[in-house]
Amino acid sequence: MWTCSLLKQNAKQALYGRYWRCFGVCVLLTFMGVLSATTVSVWPIIQLYGGNKTYFAYDESAGSHRFANGTLRPAAYSYGPQRSDLFDILPVVFGAALAVIAVVLVLAFCWGTFLTNPMTVGRARYFMESRQAPAPVSTVFSVFDKGYMNIVKVQLLTSMKILAGCLIIVPGIYWFFCYLMVPYLLAENPYLTTGRAMELSRQMMEGEKWHAFVLGLSFLGWEILAGFVPFGLGGWFLGPYYQATFAELYAALRSKAFAYGMSDASELGGFVTRDLSAGG
């Protein structure tokens, strides 16, 4: 039976002499998990359809005349946008804004589906391998070598189910903890089907969801302290400790799965620690 203090103690031992390498990995993943969207202004569109246009109110009583170049003579004319022209511009601006939002949403979805979600699996693999020996940073990117599209599919479907549950809150929270081990399972076996990964995670988390919640809650004090560090740097320093602790949780639940016959070495063959001289 695992306890929060035991997992944290094991995490500290795993990080001994490897903290800064793990810190660098967490910083790298933070940047890769954030969508950097270029701000698109609708001002050029306004300028094209309205800003470069001069509107005139013809003053017939002053004897004004309109010339071919659009000017009026003499000076008894007035400038000002006409209400009908403004209403013509609004649909264009509104449509452009919707197009920009749609493009940003599509890019964010693709970024999360094909990069952020798989990199979550890579992070799990990295911290599991770091339990045994210092792992190269390239371990994080090993998800692109084997089973990449299966990882994308399983992570996407799992995330969609959790998000669907979040619409009514309670199921979303429940499913979040049910499938907490899915990234670690994919890290160990990237060819697990969606159904099997979800099923095995549910079995491993049976009777453990509340304890896992308490484990996450035990970092609340550290997170509050980290919040006082400028520019969010505190979260980066806390990241290795947090991830190493949940890697220890997976190791404990993996042992439970083996002991209760939920899985075996033919399905979960362990993590291979790579030679540091090979790169990273």
Question: Could you say which residues of the chain have pLDDT below 70?
Answer: 34-87, 273-280
Cβ atoms 29, 36 nearer than 8 A = no
**pLDDT computed for residue 89 by the predictor:** 82
Between CA 125 and CA 142 the distance in angstroms is: 9
Residues 21-50: pLDDT tens digits?
998 988 888 888 733 333 333 333 333 344
Between CA 164 and CA 10 the distance in angstroms is: 35
Strands 56-57 and 65-66, sheet pairing:
unpaired
Greatest extent of the chain over all pairs of C-alpha atoms, in Å: 99
Cβ atoms 273, 142 nearer than 8 A = no
**pLDDT computed for residue 105 by the predictor:** 95
**pLDDT computed for residue 56 by the predictor:** 40
- CB 144: neighbour CB atoms within 10 A? 13
**pLDDT computed for residue 175 by the predictor:** 95
Between CA 199 and CA 197 the distance in angstroms is: 6
Residues 6+ apart with CB under 8 A from 249: 2, 7, 212, 215
Residues 6+ apart with CB under 8 A from 154: 182, 186, 192, 193, 194, 197
- CB 186: neighbour CB atoms within 10 A? 27
pTM greater than 0.75 (yes/no): yes
**pLDDT computed for residue 85 by the predictor:** 63
